[in-house]
Amino acid sequence: MHTLPHDDAGFLHKKSATEPVLLAMPASSALTAPVPADLHGRAWIADQENLNPAARARLLAACQRAGFQPDIRFEVNGPLAALACVEAGLGFTLIQQSLARIIPDNVILLPVPELALEIVLYAVWRRQDARPLTARFLQQLSLTPAVAPR
């Protein structure tokens, strides 16, 4: 799910985790501590805009706030495809920190604090769901009280 359900959709949700987003760049880029100005005009890899327009808008807005415009030259379907493009030296991308364990040797991951992006994970369930399994799942996540979507 890319966006939370609307209030009238009959769902409840609760933020359950956040994960930092890191800059993935080819080791050959020779940037040791990139600042936003270093990223302006560089080739970028991003998820296909039509798959998640909200994510593309967040990426562009974060880059603009940081003071640069990414040159999105390649669109891919998912972070592993983006990472493969970085490994091939095709450009830069942003990936979630949990993928750090599978980064190839010729890819460097660095934080860029000015971008201030993170992945936010939500548990979402039906408002009227009385199944015991749902109740146990929510208890395990310590998800009480529930929050109605925005």
State residue 12 phi and psi, 5-degree precision: -120, 160
Q: CB neighbours of 80 closer than 8 A, spacing ≥ 6?
A: 99
Assess if residue 4 is contained within a domain. Answer: no
pLDDT at res. 2: 62
Answer whether residue 51 shows pLDDT above 80. Answer: yes
pLDDT at res. 150: 47
**pTM assigned to the model:** 0.78
Give me the helices (H) in the chain, please: 36-39, 53-66, 79-87, 132-140
C-beta atoms surrounding 70 within 10 Å: 23
Domain containing 49 — which CATH number?
3.40.190
The tens digit of pLDDT for each residue in 52-98 reads 898 899 999 999 999 999 999 999 999 999 999 999 999 999 999 99
Assess if residue 71 is contained within a domain. Answer: yes
Find out whether 96 and 69 touch, Cβ atoms under 8 Å. Answer: no
Assess if residue 3 is contained within a domain. Answer: no
Assess if residue 2 is contained within a domain. Answer: no
pLDDT at res. 90: 97
Separation CA 86–CA 68 (nearest Å):
19
**Total domains in the fold of the chain:** 1
pLDDT at res. 8: 67
Assess if residue 126 is contained within a domain. Answer: no
The tens digit of pLDDT for each residue in 109-147 reads 999 889 888 888 888 888 888 788 888 888 887 755 444
Assess if residue 103 is contained within a domain. Answer: yes
Mean pLDDT (whole number) for 1-18: 76
Assess if residue 116 is contained within a domain. Answer: yes
Assess if residue 32 is contained within a domain. Answer: yes
Answer whether residue 100 shows pLDDT above 50. Answer: yes
Range of the domain at 67: 26-120
Separation CA 50–CA 40 (nearest Å):
24
C-beta atoms surrounding 67 within 10 Å: 12
pLDDT at res. 113: 87
